Amino acid sequence: MIVGKQKSIAEIREIVSPYKKLLVLGCGTCVKTCFAGGEDEVATLSSALRLLFKKDGRSIYIEELTVERQCEDEFIREAAVAISKNTAVLSLACGAGVQAIARRFANVPVLPGVNTTFIGVLEKQGLFTEECLGCGDCQLAVFGGVCPVSRCAKKLQNGPCGGSRIGKCEINPETDCAWQQIITRLTALGQLDNLRKYNPPKDWRTSHAGGPRKLVREDHVI
Amino acid sequence: MKPESPSNLQRVLSDGKFAVTAECGPPRGADPEIIRRKGELLRGHVDAVNVTDNQTAIVRMSSIAACVHLSAMGLEPVMQMVTRDRNRIALQSDILGASSLGIRNILCLSGDHQTFGSQPDAMNVFDIDSVNLVHMVKVMKADGKDMSGFDLISPPRMFIGAAANPFADPFEYRVIRLAKKIDAGADFIQTQCVYNLERFREWMRLAREEGLTEKVHILAGITPLKSEGMAKYMAKKVAGMDVPESVIKRMGGVPKGKAAEEGIGICLETIAALREIKGVHGIHMMAIEWEETVGRIVEAAGLSPRPQAA
């Protein structure tokens, strides 16, 4: 899923301050799961903003709404009426959701309330870890299901570097060394010989390095 | 140096002589005198001077420029190049530029992660890794082609080095990775500083078993310790460093004023031990901001005078 973290209340207050009527718009999929922008967060944030503005002696009207996904027209349409009634939208979706709303409502300021952080998993309750950079050319078959692009701080294709100690990454003792995990996995799978092979430089064209990407599914184009 | 002649380091190693190189960190400033002064301290004591590339991710005078200052003094540089700061386009371009300036040795590294440095807010590059870099230089040199397959008008001439850390984990894999660097095209290997001789011997044994010492020149890393504090710092804070408790105790066991002497003593014993290990073809001295000690250690170790450059 896309993992995000709600911005600080101070930053949110700053960016919404020019507006009198605000729609706080939640997203009920990824950011809900990581407690950044689902309906519970919409309610809590809205209450906090109302209190803050009241304390500042200013009035603000805040409407609350959460749709299933802000990145799909089917659900965006559900927010159209609420958006038209307000002067700005504070979107608690990921960056994709914020932009999807902005593109469809040309005259409404759409503000981000969440910092989109990574594609990751819920490793355990309260802990999310980054697992994928969306490089567009998945080589997890070679690396035993552990991604060196997203999980090695140097994106090494032929790791590990000299800083791997006791299974941990040199940049942070809390971070597992991806290459240690690759080796452990491949050893368990009896595929350690995978690593004797030289991995050539990665072709980054399929990644963001090649510019903003598009996926066209001709079979689905109407 | 004639364009077709090998580097001095290459010549010393191919002649089967025990090589000595030393590290030289460029200044955090634009004054060439600092690099010249360091070079002067190393003159006559080493076969080549290894110039770091923004080591510890701190901005310094560029490795290429510092190498040129040393070359102008008649010293042979080894240019370090890290993949942290340049993509493949910039790396290839700088290798061609360095070769045009007479630089004949390169040490290919990934580089310390920028979060360790003074500008942790920087973006890193890591377009390719150090093994890819070794391979890239090898193809440029041997096949005369850049990474696009374009035939270079005049290929760069480089004696290619890579690093190895016998003390990092996972230990068993370290030799496989060394083999990969050699297959990619490494001519020589510089190791992390050796304090744990036992582990280093074991790593060398594994390297010999794989036949790697026949294919590459291994230079063992040496860093003289100045104090017990430095030993502790290296043990705990420096990534990939293995300083055994016995070495820390030894540094702490002498009065503070004698600690540097003790450190030099440990170095000399280590060098003597390294010379007995089959497959070790030289040492690389990393006397961090203590270049004046290199000459003394080299002489005391019986490694003076150095073979005359051709």
Hey, is the C-beta of B89 within 8 angstroms of any chain A C-beta? no
Of B88, B114, B173, which to mutate for an interface test with A (greatest number of A Cβ within 10 Å)?
A: B173
- Whether the pLDDT of residue A131 is over 50: the answer is yes
pLDDT given at position B274? 98
**In order of start, what are the domains of chain B with their CATH numbers?**
8-300 (3.20.20.220)
* Residue B99: other Cβ atoms inside 10 A: 22
Contact with chain B for residue A167, Cβ under 8 A: yes
Q: CB-based contact (8 Å) between A156 and chain B?
A: yes
Cα dist from B164 to A198, B11, B55, B91, whole Å: 16, 22, 16, 21
> Which positions 257-286 of B are in contact with A (Cβ < 8 Å)?
none
**Is the Cβ of A164 closer than 8 Å to some Cβ of chain B?**
yes
Residue B60 pLDDT exceeds 50? yes
Q: Which residues of A touch B110 (CB under 8 A)?
A: 154, 156, 161
Q: Is A173 on the interface with B (CB under 8 A)?
A: no
Assess B243–A contact: CB distance below 8 Å, yes or no. Answer: no
Q: Which helix (H) or strand (E) holds A172?
A: strand A172-176
Position B75 scores a pLDDT of 98
Beta bridge partners of B191: B164
Mean pLDDT check: name the lowest of B25-29, B42-46, B173-177.
B173-177
Q: Tell me if A129 sits within 8 A of A123, measured CB to CB.
A: yes
| Cβ-Cβ contacts under 8 Å for B225 (sequence gap 6 or more) | B231, B234, B247, B251, B259, B262, B263, B266, B267
Measured between alpha carbons, how far is A127 from A48 in angstroms, rounded to an integer? 25
Q: How many CB atoms lie within 10 A of CB A146?
A: 20
**CA dist., res. B237 & res. A65, Å (int):** 50
What's the rounded mean pLDDT across residues A169-195? 93
Taking the C-alpha atoms of residue A151 and residue A159, their distance in angstroms, rounded to an integer, is 12
Nearest CA-CA distance, residue A179 and chain B, Å = 9
pLDDT digits (tens, 9 = 90+) for B257-308: 999 999 999 999 999 999 999 999 999 999 988 999 999 999 999 999 999 8
The number of CA neighbours under 13 Å toward the Cβ of B82 is: 22
Record: contact B168-A160, CB cut-off 8 A? yes
Taking CB atoms and an 8 Å cutoff, what residues of chain A touch B180?
A: 158, 196, 198
Share of chain B above pLDDT 70, in %: 98
**Contact at CB, B176 and A196, closer than 8 angstroms:** yes
Using CB atoms, pick whichever of A164, A184, A198 lies closest to residue B135: A198
Residue-wise pLDDT for A16-40, tens only, equals 999 999 999 999 999 999 999 999 9
Q: Where, residue-wise, is CATH 3.40.50.2300 in chain A? A: 2-118
Specify the range with the lowest mean pLDDT, choosing from A27-31, A193-197, A204-208, B266-270: A193-197
Q: Is B129 on the interface with A (CB under 8 A)?
A: yes
- The beta-carbon neighbor of A157 closest among B132, B169, B239 is B132
pLDDT at B39 over 60: yes
Asked if residues A113 and A91 have their Cβ atoms less than 8 Å apart, the reply is yes
Q: Tens digits of per-residue pLDDT, B213-222?
A: 999 999 999 9
Q: Do B250 and B242 contact (CB within 8 A), yes or no?
A: no
CATH architecture of A2-118: 3-Layer(aba) Sandwich (3.40)
Set of chain B residues whose Cβ sits within 8 Å of the Cβ of A176 = none
Burial class (CB in 10 A: 0-12, 13-18, 19+), B189: buried
Euclidean distance between CA atoms B176 and B206, whole angstroms? 10
Residue A72: name the closest of A106, A103, A97, A44 by CA.
A97
CB of A171 less than 8 A from some CB of B: yes
pLDDT given for residue B3 in this prediction: 46
pLDDT at B228 over 80: yes
Query: What is the chain A residue with the closest CA to B239?
Result: A163
What 3-state class would DSSP assign to A217? coil
What is the average per-residue pLDDT within B99-118?
Answer: 96
Beta bridge partners of residue B283, listed in sequence order = B20, B220
The stretch B214-239 carries a mean pLDDT of 95
Give me the pLDDT at residue B33, please: 98
**B165 and A CB contact within 8 Å:** yes
Q: Please indicate whether, in this complex, the C-beta atoms of A157 and B183 are within 8 angstroms of each other.
A: no
Mean pLDDT of all residues in B187-203: 97
User: Pick from A161, A195, A200: which is nearest to B176 by CB?
Assistant: A195
Q: What is the mean pLDDT of residues B100-108?
A: 97
pLDDT at B310: 62
**Mode of pairing for the β-strands spanning A110-112 and A172-176:** unpaired
Q: Is A175 on the interface with B (CB under 8 A)?
A: no
Query: Does the CB of A213 have a partner CB in chain B at under 8 Å?
Result: no
Which residue from A minimizes the CA distance to B170? A180
Among B83, B168, B179, beta carbon nearest to A163: B168
Q: Is the pLDDT of residue A134 over 60?
A: yes
| pLDDT at position A160 | 92
Look at B136 and A201 and tell me if their CB atoms are within 8 Å. yes
Instruction: Quote the CA–CA distance of B300 and B295 in Å, as a whole number.
Output: 8
User: A184, A176 in Cβ contact below 8 A?
Assistant: no
The answer to whether the CB atoms of B110 and A154 lie below 8 A apart is yes
Distance CA B129, CA B115 (A): 18
Q: Average pLDDT for residues A183-209, to the nearest whole number?
A: 95
